[in-house]
A and B are shown apart, each in its own frame.
Chain A
Amino acid sequence: MNVTVKYFAVCHEMLDRSEEEMELPDGATIQTILERLEEEWPEIAEFYEVMQMSVNWEYATEHTELTEGDEVALIPPVTGGCNV
């Protein structure tokens, strides 16, 4: 199956791309994506502690199973608004 994976902020910078299509085996979870990214860029694993993930605009866990056409995103700690 194919899914779209989006990268924001520090992840975008680290991976040098804002999104990509990924072909995954049936039964793949978000963990499958995290492992694949870690192979490419081991340092990204440091961010996994504080990062969240989403599937189709809803927060998800690493165990969330994916289906064809899902839109997955890596969500670094959010920092919108102002410092007050």
Chain B
Amino acid sequence: MFKITTEVITGEEVREAVEGPDAGAVVLFFGTVRNNTDGRPVKCLEYEAYPPMAEKKMAEIAQEISDKWGIERVAMTHRVGKLEIGEVSVAVAVASPHRKDGFEACRYAMDRLKQIVPIWKREVWADGEAEWVKPDAVFFDTPKPHKTASQID
């Protein structure tokens, strides 16, 4: 299951999507809306996605996990729209025979989601200002595919 949703995420849906008799572990990750960013109070977050491409990229991440760990059961869902403090923005579930691979694959899924899945976050600050979140510096250091080799420092 790979889904962009406007509904509240409880985690049941992703957990049920990966459960099976050969699983010895189900790793479940929730990303939640924190009340501050680097100490600045946050009122709420607004997420926007490009749903068909986001779901396609989520499926590709699951394929990468299958290739790396042989884990076939991965589910991801990301909510869009306005989210209040404490609400779940993203849930990832990974079912694996053993917990070590499950933890690693779940972490990998989130890391990749933040790299390649077209979803954007807008912080609405408690003081009323709002801005689209810029990714960290590491992102900007990564060569972009639309640059030619000669343009990359």
> With a CB–CB cut-off of 8 A, which chain B residues contact A58?
53, 56
Task: Say if the beta carbon of A66 comes within 8 Å of chain B.
Answer: no
Please name the residue on chain B nearest to A31 by beta carbon. Answer: B146
Interface residues of B: mostly helix, strand, loop or mixed?
A: mixed
Task: Say if the beta carbon of A23 comes within 8 Å of chain B.
Answer: no
Least CB distance from A9 to B in Å reads: 4
> With a CB–CB cut-off of 8 A, which chain A residues contact B114?
78-81
Task: Say if the beta carbon of B117 comes within 8 Å of chain A.
Answer: yes
> With a CB–CB cut-off of 8 A, which chain B residues contact A12?
48
A76 touches B115 (CB 8 A): no
Please name the residue on chain B nearest to A34 by beta carbon. Answer: B146
In the complex, how many residues of chain B place their beta carbon closer than 8 angstroms to a beta carbon of chain A? 36
- Known contacts being A6-B50, A82-B31, is A77 close to B134, with CB within 8 Å? yes
B122 touches A9 (CB 8 A): yes
B37 touches A83 (CB 8 A): yes
Task: Say if the beta carbon of A4 comes within 8 Å of chain B.
Answer: no
Q: In the complex the two chains form, what is the Cα distance from A30 to B144 in whole Å? A: 15
- Known contacts being A6-B50, A52-B144, is A76 close to B33, with CB within 8 Å? no
B144 touches A50 (CB 8 A): yes
13 sample A-B contacts, Cβ–Cβ < 8 Å, listed by A number:
A8-B118, A54-B53, A57-B53, A58-B53, A59-B145, A62-B146, A73-B50, A73-B118, A80-B118, A81-B113, A81-B119, A82-B34, A82-B89
Q: Which residues of A contact B (CB under 8 A)?
A: 6, 8-10, 12-13, 30, 48-54, 57-62, 73, 75-84
Q: Which residues of B contact A (CB under 8 A)?
A: 31-34, 37, 47-50, 52-54, 56, 78, 89-90, 110, 113-122, 132-135, 139-140, 144-146
Taking A8-B48, A76-B120, A80-B113 as known contacts, 12 extra A-B pairs with beta carbons closer than 8 A to each other, sorted by chain A number, are A8-B50, A8-B118, A50-B144, A52-B145, A57-B56, A58-B53, A75-B50, A76-B132, A80-B47, A80-B78, A80-B117, A83-B34
